[in-house]
Amino acid sequence: MENKALAKGKKQYVIFRIADQDFGADIHKVSIIEKTMNITRVPTAPSYITGVVNLRGDIIPVMDLRIKFGLEPKEPDDDTRIIMFKLNDVTLGVMVDSVDEVVNFDDTEIESVTNITNDRTLDYIAGVGKSGGRIATLLHIEKLITELIA
Mean pLDDT across the chain:
86
pLDDT tens-digit series, residues 26-60 = 999 999 999 999 999 999 988 999 999 999 999 99
Q: What percent of the chain has pLDDT over 90?
A: 54
Helix, strand, coil shares of the chain, percent, nearest 5, are 20, 50, 30
3-state secondary structure of 145: helix
Identify the pLDDT of residue 116: 57
Say how far apart CA 114 and CA 123 lie, in whole Å: 10
The predicted structure's pLDDT at residue 90: 86
Give, in order, the Cα–Cα distances in Å from 13 to each of 52, 61, 92, 103, 111. Answer: 25, 22, 17, 5, 15
Quote the DSSP letter at residue 73. P
pTM, rounded to two decimals: 0.85
Residue 132 · residue 76 · CB < 8 Å: no
- pLDDT for 95 equals 95
pLDDT score recorded for residue 1: 43
Task: Look at residue 138 in the predicted model and tell me its pLDDT.
Answer: 93
- Residue 85 and residue 30 in contact, taking contact as beta carbons nearer than 8 Å: yes
Which pLDDT band holds residue 77 (cuts at 50, 70, 90)?
very high
Query: Could you tell me the domains of the chain?
Result: 2-149 (2.40.50.180)
Does 5 have pLDDT greater than 50?
no
Which of 98-102, 113-117, 137-141 has the least mean pLDDT?
Answer: 113-117
Helix or strand or coil: residue 134? strand
Residue count (the chain): 150
